[in-house]
Structure 1
Amino acid sequence: MEYLIEFEKKIKKDHIDSVLVQSNNRIIFEYYRNRKMKEKQHKIYSITKSVLSILVGIAVDKGFIKDINTSIVDYFPENKDDAKKDITIKHLLTMTSGLHSPGNNRMIPSKNWVNFVLQQEMIHPPGNEMVYSCGSSHLLSAILQSTTGISTEEFAKKHLFTSLGITNYRWNQDAQGISIGGFGLSMKTSDMLKIGSLYLNKGRWKSKQIVSTRWVEESTFPKVRIDDTSAYAYHWWNMTFGNHTDNIFCASGYEGQYIIVAPEYKLVTVFTSSIKDESSRPLGYFENDILPYIVFR
């Protein structure tokens, strides 16, 4: 326990807002910078993408989405473009659509985000190269709304959030009423932990299978190698820490928001932060402070 006391001293000096560490389904460390942080709806930024991935999996399980290898032009009849007919839902999930990514600073002011993304030029053949893009995630949210007939937020509430007991959240929309796929969610730290626990337990929550084990495994299995220590799956990151070669995967967001899942150690760690300069710092805390404590205790 002394180890965790030292860890707490470190994070108190940093811009860490909250940390939860759960081992074997039991919370072994809990930190909030102040009392407000426990109930706060934290902007989780790109962790939204990983939640969206879960929803796509549920939609596949329930037959709303027949096949992730389907061309995206099937879902946007007003934007038929032969140049984009080879882009599939799977390409959006792995960020390998080949579409130019103009950045959020150009997408957000546009009048119609979906049209804006679809009008971007092709810079690579689909599947060739990863280009990280909130636009790809937003197209996925639009496809989810098109196939289910309800908003992505409503679908999440009906098929994910209610089962997990997640009630205190906000999901912003674009001007067309499409839940923002790339960064629109805000939720409590404790609810972020539930998302991680769901995936640690291969899609099962208590006695209910929320999303299929097959999807959990497929969506977190490395698809695109980024460098020696990281890869990308279906809107989830895969991370290698030192000699730990097992599949540790995580959801990450701007300014240091993280849900880190280490199945081999039955470990889920959540960080919310307001780190402006080096948002990957929580990964360092996980590698140097949390993992050693779990492995060697």
Structure 2
Amino acid sequence: MKIFSLITRKPCIIIKITFDNKPNRPTKITNLMKSIYQFVLLLFVSFQVFGQENATDFQYSSPTKEKVDAKGILSFLDKVEASEHELHSLMILRRGKVIAEGWWEPYGTKLKHTMYSVSKTYTATAIGLAVNEGLISVEDKVIKFFPHSLPEKISDNLKNLQIKHLLTMSVGHAKDYTFSIVKTEDWASSFFAVPIVNQPGEQFVYNTIATYMLSAIVQKVSGQTLLEYLQPRLFKPLGIEEVDWEMSPQGINTGGYGLRVKTEDMAKLGQLFLQNGNWNGQQILPESWIKEARSLKILQNPEASKEDKANSDWLQGYGYQMWRSRHESYRADGAFGQYILILPKQEAVIVITSETSNLQALLSEVWNHILPAFDSEGNISDDLALQNRLENLSHKPTIGVENRLMEGLLDEKSIAIENNGRRIEYYFDFQGNNLEINSIEDQKSQNISSGKEVWVAGMTERKQPYLVSQAKNALNGLAPYKVFSSYHWEDFQTLVIEIKYIESPHTETIKFYFDGKKVNIETSSLANRGKSKVFQGILIE
């Protein structure tokens, strides 16, 4: 018996053929099998898998049918999986149909993902909706919305600051003050307290707190938070559900970061822009706004050389909270490699979630491998190879050395750490091939369950690594966090715990270096910009 199965995230086809075992039929069976194989390939190409009953779900097609060579996507997967980039999901759409999608286990389709600055494009979309409703104009002066947050002396540059300057990162600040402002109690007042040294509109300075001010303006004019305002106007029409967005101490959505949505939700926003604001026959956003938002408004560095500009996706200009990219494209862009790439010439949207420290290198791999695949002849065999590859993506846990002796010595023991007057304890409980670690800090108990060289799903109150962890209210209300964790022994004295916070880009690594009763503990993640924190402790018998 032979069973052929074509599996997608949507319904699958199974064809079952049964043969008897009579002799002298090898040639006929071989020919029949070839015919069946060709039929299955043809069926795969022609079969379109429609979404769930929700009309906003995408249709599905194959690369070959949409004139895309699957070898280019396979080459991209080869390259990134051999690189420093850790991809979590990939979706590629052409002409509104999904031609490739995959999630690297333990990440999955139903999980949200921290967007970082992709949030900015959603915020700007709310501004577009508010403009369309006549609530505001991009020419409006910013200070008129915040009469009680202004400094005693208002400079001419502050007086002239308009909404469009917030949208285009041309406020006039000397640098981005976000990381200091978000530590304060009143972010709007702190924003206005920073001197505007340049005339608004003249110079690009990336400015996340400027996007927060856009969120605050939406709340001022609508009486709703940014998230509440977008629900009936954007999220519901596009079928985007279970969204959450962080807030400032004043109860205003953070705007420039803090949004969490699913990969498919990112693709929907990208497709909405590609379709000039139209979704299933409904004009969600005015086409005029889409054209304004994606068009060049300001250059990041007008003095950049041709060579630098040719090699950089950060020197192509900026629109309304969207980056212009090479190859006549534009994008929503978030820290550590969150992308919604919109390619009008190719009628395509490419969505990536990941954790990487080299954002340009990851984008360059898209241009080097996926871009040339458009309008290239493919074949159905490569389509099947790609489908199989996408269904088997995973991040394997690290394999270490066998070290049962140390596990026995550490079982039901604790490590005590004194750090700036604070005491932290780690309690170890080895249970066969599982490790339960209980940490106690500030009288709060937090548990992590890890599998020995396998991922174990769990929940934890332990705060995930985060680029803006110092912000007031940072991550409030999001715990407990979904995690997958594994452990291994790097050598006979070094225990390594890897914790993937799978609704964020980040993995936290905790290393315990044992030297008799002395223990060094090192924690690290890319969210800390590669910097490790090292603590010294002692083993308690």
Aligned partner of 1:117 in structure 2 is 191
> Any idea what the Cα deviations from partners look like across 1:193-241, whole Å, max 9, x if unmatched?
0000000000011111111000000111001122535110110111123
Query: For 2:173, which of 99, 110, 132 is the aligned residue?
Result: 99
Query: Once structures 1 and 2 are overlaid, which stretch shifts more, 280-289 or 209-218?
Result: 280-289
Q: Which residue identity lines up with residue 374 of structure 2 in the other structure?
A: I
Aligned partner of 1:294 in structure 2 is 374
Provide the secondary structure at the position in 2 that maps to 1:252.
strand
Taking every aligned residue pair, what percent have the same amino acid on both sides? 29
| Conserved 8 A contact 1:171-1:179 | yes
Q: Which residue identity lines up with residue 286 of structure 1 in the other structure?
A: V
Q: Which residue identity lines up with residue 362 of structure 2 in the other structure?
A: P
Distance in 2 (CA, whole Å) between partners of 1:150 and 1:170 is: 15
* Higher Cα Rg, which structure: 2
The CA deviation at 1:289 is: 1.2
The CA deviation at 1:285 is: 2.2
Provide the secondary structure at the position in 2 that maps to 1:265.
coil
Uncovered stretches (5+) of structure 2, i.e. residues with no partner = 1-69, 310-314, 378-541
Q: Which residue identity lines up with residue 196 of structure 2 in the other structure?
A: M
| Conserved 8 A contact 1:101-1:135 | no
The CA deviation at 1:166 is: 0.4
Query: Once structures 1 and 2 are overlaid, which stretch shifts more, 12-21 or 251-260?
Result: 12-21
Provide the secondary structure at the position in 1 that maps to 2:205.
coil
Deviation beyond 6 Å, 4+ runs, structure 1: none
Provide the secondary structure at the position in 1 that maps to 2:184.
coil
Provide the secondary structure at the position in 1 that maps to 2:330.
strand
Distance in 1 (CA, whole Å) between partners of 2:318 and 2:176 is: 20
| Conserved 8 A contact 1:200-1:263 | yes
Q: Identify the structure with the greater strand proportion.
A: 2
| Conserved 8 A contact 1:238-1:250 | yes
In the superposition, the TM-score normalised over structure 2's length comes to 0.52
Query: For 1:232, which of 309, 314, 318 is the aligned residue?
Result: 318
Query: For 2:352, which of 254, 264, 271 is the aligned residue?
Result: 271
| Conserved 8 A contact 2:340-2:352 | yes
Distance in 1 (CA, whole Å) between partners of 2:131 and 2:227 is: 17
Aligned partner of 2:518 in structure 1 is none
Aligned partner of 2:148 in structure 1 is 78
Distance in 1 (CA, whole Å) between partners of 2:243 and 2:79 is: 29
The CA deviation at 1:82 is: 4.0
Q: Identify the structure with the greater helix proportion.
A: 1
Distance in 1 (CA, whole Å) between partners of 2:350 and 2:177 is: 29
- Structure scoring higher RCO (CA < 8 A, sep ≥ 6) equals 1
**Matched pairs, number:** 290
Query: For 2:235, which of 161, 182, 186 is the aligned residue?
Result: 161
Uncovered stretches (5+) of structure 1, i.e. residues with no partner = none
Q: Which residue identity lines up with residue 347 of structure 2 in the other structure?
A: K
Structure 1 position 40 matched with structure 2 position 111: yes
- Aligned ranges 1:45-194 → 2 under 5 Å: 45-65=116-136, 67-80=137-150, 81-83=154-156, 84-194=158-268
Distance in 2 (CA, whole Å) between partners of 1:3 and 1:139 is: 41
Distance in 2 (CA, whole Å) between partners of 1:125 and 1:112 is: 25
Distance in 1 (CA, whole Å) between partners of 2:227 and 2:79 is: 37
Provide the secondary structure at the position in 2 that maps to 1:238.
strand
CA RMSD in angstroms comes to 1.4
Structure 1 position 12 matched with structure 2 position 81: yes
| Conserved 8 A contact 1:100-1:120 | no
In the superposition, the TM-score normalised over structure 1's length comes to 0.94
The CA deviation at 1:7 is: 2.1
